[in-house]
Chain A
């Protein structure tokens, strides 16, 4: 199974950058790294995904280690609305397009 390891929880001050780490030491060459987040009482929502290169979008940046065994989701300026559980997931056609969400990192944003 393609699995990831994340810290159970993290805290950040509002308006400061947040770096959410994810380890995926068993990643294969075809695995993409996906990030989703789940706000309280809502379904998960897509944040970002990438393969090898760092990726940016309007929500966040994804920094992928050169050996691809770890990655970091970067929220550039945390807001109270960013308080959520963040999931790092590996997915590829080689894994049958299964997605293993795990338990994620619960981010608390302190005003």
Chain B
């Protein structure tokens, strides 16, 4: 089954304790992205990657790191989490459309709910 998986689905941690949220897709998509969703603010893009070893900042990259060493994986790293990073996180992936020159339909993971105390 074609899907984007995220782990863990729920995480409660404390300020300053490094954590990694994994994201994996089995569709051979070039594009992967991380979003956070907060009440009243909608979805905001954190980082995205257009292919292996190519990453770019989105709207709200501060406090986050990413890496893209393999095409299927795009982990989100919080080196020193703070309470303002408490949020619902979504990973997404998409295929490059050569005809239109854009990334088409994004497939989203189920989300990771992170609480930083």
Q: Which residues of A contact B (CB under 8 A)?
A: 30, 32, 36, 42-46, 49, 51, 87, 91-93, 96-104
Contacts and interface: CB of A to CB of B under 8 A. Distances in A.
Interface of B: 31, 33, 35, 40-45, 48, 50, 56, 58-59, 90, 92, 100-111
A36 B31 CA distance: 17
14 contacts: A43-B108, A44-B92, A44-B106, A44-B108, A46-B107, A87-B43, A92-B102, A96-B56, A97-B50, A98-B48, A98-B58, A99-B48, A100-B59, A102-B43
Contacts of A30: 101
A43 B25 CA distance: 15
Given A44-B43, A100-B59, A104-B42, A36 B106 contact: yes
A21 B105 CA distance: 20
Majority secondary structure, B binding face: strand
B50 A101 contact: no
B107 to A, nearest CB: 8
Contacts of A102: 42-43
A43 B90 contact: yes
A101 B102 contact: no
A79 to B, nearest CB: 21
